Amino acid sequence: MWSGGLREIGGALKTHLVRHFSRKCAPNLRKINPRVAPQEATSIAESIYQLIKQHGPLTVPNTWNQVQESGISGLSSKTHMKLMLKWMRGRKMLKLLCHQIGNNKKFMHITLPEDPDNIQSNTITEPKIQRKKKPSVKKQKVTKKSR
């Protein structure tokens, strides 16, 4: 009687421990140091936010090209821009999307919508791929001839 109950408790404990230790801890994005003064970090973040909002979803290299073209001051390198993007994600200003195209993944930054009703306007829609349809083969009914 007790041995069956202990097995069930041991099994439940084992599955609980396995599930607990197999999870990764979520990174605490709020504690990222932007390497500049807080006022300067907010001004850089606002200009990057406006840039991403204007040009739509951008990958990191495309964001760096746009930052260089627009002449945002305060960013010293591409690594510093990546830290700022991570800091902005921690502050819930940006969202990182992953689109898998075949074997390749594409990570894009988008701005979070101001209205919860307007969620679909900022998301990326993937183009629909038209595939050739296979010609359908109709099966004919086989009937028995009566003698």
* Cβ-based neighbour number of residue 4 at 10 Å: 8
Separation CA 32–CA 93 (nearest Å): 14
Give the list of residues 6+ apart from residue 41 with CB closer than 8 angstroms, or none.
34, 84, 87
Q: What is the largest CA-CA distance in the chain?
A: 99
Query: pLDDT tens for residues 3-26?
Result: 555 556 677 888 888 888 887 777
**For the chain, domain boundaries:** 30-122
DSSP E strand boundaries for 7-143: 94-101, 104-111
pLDDT tier for residue 139 given thresholds of 50, 70 and 90: low
Separation CA 111–CA 119 (nearest Å): 10
Average pLDDT for the chain = 80
pLDDT of 123 reads 47
Q: Over the range 84-119, which residues count as b (16 or more CB within 10 Å of their CB) and which as e?
A: bbbbbbbeebbbeeeeeeeeeeeebbbbeeeeeeee
pLDDT of 30 reads 65
Could you tell me which residue, 31 or 26, shows the higher pLDDT?
A: 31
pLDDT of 71 reads 93
Proportion of the chain above pLDDT 70, given as a percent: 69
Query: pLDDT tens for residues 84-121?
Result: 999 999 889 999 999 998 899 999 999 988 755 544 44
Does domain 30-122 fall under CATH 3.60.21.10? My reply is no
The pLDDT of 43-61, averaged and rounded, is 95
